[in-house]
Structure 1
Amino acid sequence: MLGHYVHLALRALGRSPLMAVAVVVALALGVGASIAMLTVVRVMSWDPLPGLSQQLYRPVMDPLPASFKIRPGADPRIAMTWVDAKALLDDGPAAAQVALATGRVVLPPQTPLDQPAYVDGQFATSQVFRVFGIRFLEGTGWSAAEEAGHAAVIVISESFARRLRAEGSVVGRRIRLSEHSFTITGVIADWTPVPRFHTDMQREVFAGRDDFFIPLETAIALDMEVRNAVFSWGDVTNSRDMKSASATWLQFWVELEGAQARAAYAAFLQNHVQAQLDLGRFQRPQQAALVPLRDHLRQRGVVPAEVRLQLWLAIGFLFVCMVNICALLYARLSRRTHEIAVRRALGARRADVVLQLATEAVMVGGLGGVGALAVAALGLWFLRTQPEGYAALAVMDWPMAVLTPLLACVCSLLAAALPALRVASTRIAMQIKVAE
């Protein structure tokens, strides 16, 4: 029976090819534009650590003086002071926790033909690899004792290791970076979470790679360059005093499994805040917060407002296209009212007629879906040419490629539903009988 419906649908489409083409083009444009923007939003809001993000939390507190005026885009509370981070690291009841900041080093020329190069990475505490699930290819990280002793050690990425042009393993090798010498203790697989949630997200949210990890206290002792924002207030006279209680610059993440662990850490965090309030260091009454990773991304507005607006405009355009498709299908099917009414009068059930027309709609949707894939690919290519940081992410993956024709078929069926029910109604069949 389905083959019969397909045969009837092909004959019907062949009788009005121009109108069929118009419907397919409208469907392709509407669905393609929507899929292109949906792909961008989906990738930008993707889980940066699948399987781990559910147990990662960011402690939030407010160390600012009561008189401090927060300016838009310059909120010191996006980071943490060394004093608070150290207290949490020393006494926090978490399974694992990490304080870190984005850093930059200078790699000297490796050959006479090379130029000095900047390399970005993280200054972090020893549990960073566990907290973020970073995989080692060889070697290990460093211990808390080594960090406390300001050990000059470094873990590098696989890509960085290739840039060193060394034969064999690089573990144990000494390298010189920014006038300091470090011993390589391990090599990790390239780690490129998207978005870069572990930074202060003031820059390069969707691009970049961390090619090294250096112990945080070592970086502070060596006065190494910090690339993320550093906010200071009060009596701070030296902007490089990274251990000041009046300067925020560190990101902090804790690993908490289960409600009991979260409750224990939340109580500890509030006790720390209350202690600072009692000492007079914190001046703003507050409730400390543990923010889950995904909530943190939403709060920071990882998906820019203009991208969300473009998505809604694309959805609105799809709605307009569906209205036009509905009108075209109604006009097309209205021409076949007599044919369909005769079938009804001869005993065809309404469900049979609707199923036949739905088959036509699915075929149109399939053709529109193929066109939508081309439109979406063109739109994503155009987005990749833009100078935005997220432009490189505008690439369609297989789930979106499968969704595109399915969405086109659904839209085609929805647009055809009203015209199909209208022309398949019993009233029209009775009108034909009366006319005869």
Structure 2
Amino acid sequence: MTRYYLWLAARSLRSSPWLSGLMVIAIALGIGAFMTCYAIFHAMAGNPIPHKSDALHAVRLDNWSADQPWEEPNVPPSQMTYRDARFLAEAGRARYQTAMFRIGVAVQPDNPDIKPLFSVGRLTYSDFFPMFEPPFLYGGPWTREQDAARSPVIVLSRELNEQVFGGEDSVGRKLRLDGEEYTVVGVLDTFDPLPRYYDVINASAFGDADEYYLPFTLNDHLQKRPMGNNSCWKNPPEDTYQGYLDSECVWVATWVQLDSRAEREAYQDFLDNYVREQKTLGRFERPLNNRLDDVMSWLEAQRVVADDAHIQLGLSFAFLVVCLLNTVGLMLAKFLRRSGEVGVRRALGASRAQVFCQYLAESGLLGVGGAVAGVGLAWLGLAVVRKVSPDMAVLTQLDAGLLLFALLVSVLAALLAGLYPAWRACRVAPATQLKTQ
């Protein structure tokens, strides 16, 4: 029976190609606009590590001025001081913990044919790798023992490895950064979570990935200043690098992995006790306000999805509704124009339910046509976004999941649009129509 309904629907669409085309265009315009905005919103608001997003937590301590909060009404800083971050990273009170900040250095390849280049990377602890799970192409991460020993080791991104070593397995080879020599222990495969949740403060959540990773403890002699956000509510105690490290300036991100509620509660108690201890030393003048944000709470707190994205998505959905209302009018005109045909079918024994299903099948075919055309318009819209804003290229991809979603939305929207016209058509009285034939 379904095949018969589809055959009747296809025959009906061919009998009035201009009107059918108008309905397909109306659906396609709505789907194209909605999917263009939804694809960007989906990339921005997605869960970047769904299998453990509730176990990874950004740590925040409120060391800000007693006179005012970091942010109203009572929000602690998004990063922490160097000494607090280092203490927590080396305290070993969680399964995994790390502190990190971005730096920029000059990469000096041994190959004279490759010019030195400026590269941005990250100082972090070895726990970064099992926490955030970047895939390795060659080798692996350094160890906690190498953290403690301040070993001059490095993990490269795939891109930097291709630039410097031609994409070969470079594990064990040497690389010079700012005159310092490091041994390559690992090379990452493509690692580009969207959004880049572990550091949305010092780098764009959708920008370029880090090109290398170095042990955080090497900063004892590197004495690097961060590339990124650095905020102070009072001046450092002395105008030296050590004074900067001892200051209340916040510029280091800190994360821990807590796999259960009990671990989270125990770590929260540990944080509170640490701050109470620091209060006796004259620090942390504000009331206790230490926070552990899981990944999705952290992204929400940092407003990774801009308000503009919500507004654009809402407007595109409203436009889709307007297009569907136009489609309802066109369907109603088309279906009622065929009242005579409906009367004959009813007189020959077709039930109202059968007539209703036939017209819904026609609506579904219109939805499929609108989906195909709408996906094409969405692809074109995303291409325009990439052209106008190249930095948004990673947010403008239509994958298989989004294509299937577009098809489902289009067909469902067309079916919803066809409900009222189909209901009106199946309510046609056969006797009245037969008298006019």
Same fold (TM over 0.5): yes
More off after superposition, 80-89 vs 339-348: 339-348
What is the distance in 2 between the residues matched to 1:420 and 1:195? 44
Q: What is the number of residues matched between the two proteins?
A: 433
What is the distance in 2 between the residues matched to 1:33 and 1:420? 27
Matching residue of 1:141: 141
CA distance change for structure 1 residues 2 and 173 in 2, over 3 Å: closer, same or farther? closer
Which residue of the other structure, out of 292, 301, 304, is the alignment partner of 1:302? 304
Matching residue of 1:267: 269
What is the distance in 1 between the residues matched to 2:401 and 2:167? 41
Q: How does 1:307-322 map to 2 (within 5 A)?
A: 307-322=309-324
Matching residue of 2:177: 177
Give deviations 1:42-101, integer Å, cap 9, x for gaps. 1122222242323101112210121357579xx981111122223322435211111111
Matching residue of 2:393: 391
What is the distance in 1 between the residues matched to 2:390 and 2:67? 37
What is the distance in 1 between the residues matched to 2:234 and 2:366? 68
Q: How does 1:5-154 map to 2 (within 5 A)?
A: 5-68=5-68, 70=70, 77-108=77-108, 110-154=110-154
What is the distance in 2 between the residues matched to 1:266 and 1:146? 28
**Given residue 67 of structure 1, which amino acid in structure 2 is its aligned partner?**
D
Residue 12 of structure 1, CA deviation: 1.8
Matching residue of 1:364: 366
Preserved CA contact (<8 Å) 2:76 2:289: no
Q: Aligned residues: percent identity?
A: 30
SS in structure 2 of the partner of residue 53 of structure 1? coil
CA distance change for structure 1 residues 418 and 266 in 2, over 3 Å: closer, same or farther? same
Matching residue of 1:292: 294
Matching residue of 2:4: 4
What is the distance in 1 between the residues matched to 2:39 and 2:434? 52
SS in structure 2 of the partner of residue 119 of structure 1? strand
Residue 203 of structure 1, CA deviation: 3.4
What is the distance in 2 between the residues matched to 1:121 and 1:191? 13
Matching residue of 1:354: 356
Matching residue of 1:333: 335
**Given residue 367 of structure 1, which amino acid in structure 2 is its aligned partner?**
G
Preserved CA contact (<8 Å) 1:152 1:218: yes
CA distance change for structure 1 residues 202 and 433 in 2, over 3 Å: closer, same or farther? same
Matching residue of 1:161: 161
SS in structure 2 of the partner of residue 396 of structure 1? coil
More off after superposition, 134-143 vs 343-352: 134-143
What is the distance in 2 between the residues matched to 1:421 and 1:260? 57
CA distance change for structure 1 residues 224 and 321 in 2, over 3 Å: closer, same or farther? same
Which residue of the other structure, out of 404, 407, 412, is the alignment partner of 2:409? 407
Matching residue of 1:238: 239
Residue 240 of structure 1, CA deviation: 4.2
SS in structure 1 of the partner of residue 154 of structure 2? strand
SS in structure 1 of the partner of residue 224 of structure 2? coil
**Given residue 365 of structure 2, which amino acid in structure 1 is its aligned partner?**
M
Preserved CA contact (<8 Å) 1:136 1:187: yes
SS in structure 1 of the partner of residue 105 of structure 2? strand
SS in structure 2 of the partner of residue 226 of structure 1? coil
SS in structure 2 of the partner of residue 385 of structure 1? helix
Residue 388 of structure 1, CA deviation: 5.6
**Given residue 300 of structure 2, which amino acid in structure 1 is its aligned partner?**
R
What is the distance in 2 between the residues matched to 1:277 and 1:344? 85
**Given residue 218 of structure 2, which amino acid in structure 1 is its aligned partner?**
T
What is the distance in 2 between the residues matched to 1:119 and 1:39? 31
Give deviations 1:357-380, integer Å, cap 9, x for gaps. 011111111111111111111111
More off after superposition, 95-104 vs 267-276: 267-276
SS in structure 2 of the partner of residue 54 of structure 1? coil
Preserved CA contact (<8 Å) 2:96 2:257: yes
TM-score normalised per structure 2 = 0.91
SS in structure 2 of the partner of residue 264 of structure 1? helix
What is the distance in 2 between the residues matched to 1:360 and 1:425? 17
Residue 429 of structure 1, CA deviation: 3.7
**Given residue 392 of structure 1, which amino acid in structure 2 is its aligned partner?**
V
More off after superposition, 385-394 vs 258-267: 385-394
Preserved CA contact (<8 Å) 1:368 1:408: yes
Preserved CA contact (<8 Å) 1:152 1:182: yes
Which residue of the other structure, out of 393, 416, 419, is the alignment partner of 1:417? 419
**Given residue 17 of structure 1, which amino acid in structure 2 is its aligned partner?**
P
SS in structure 2 of the partner of residue 339 of structure 1? helix
Preserved CA contact (<8 Å) 1:104 1:225: no
Residue 432 of structure 1, CA deviation: 4.2
Matching residue of 1:227: 227
RMSD: 2.5
**Given residue 41 of structure 1, which amino acid in structure 2 is its aligned partner?**
F
What is the distance in 1 between the residues matched to 2:391 and 2:310? 15
**Given residue 371 of structure 1, which amino acid in structure 2 is its aligned partner?**
A
Give deviations 1:209-237, integer Å, cap 9, x for gaps. 22211111212421235212122232404
What is the distance in 1 between the residues matched to 2:130 and 2:370? 47
What is the distance in 1 between the residues matched to 2:5 and 2:168? 66
Preserved CA contact (<8 Å) 1:34 1:318: yes
What is the distance in 2 between the residues matched to 1:7 and 1:351? 17
Residue 327 of structure 1, CA deviation: 0.7
Preserved CA contact (<8 Å) 2:30 2:319: yes
**Given residue 191 of structure 1, which amino acid in structure 2 is its aligned partner?**
F
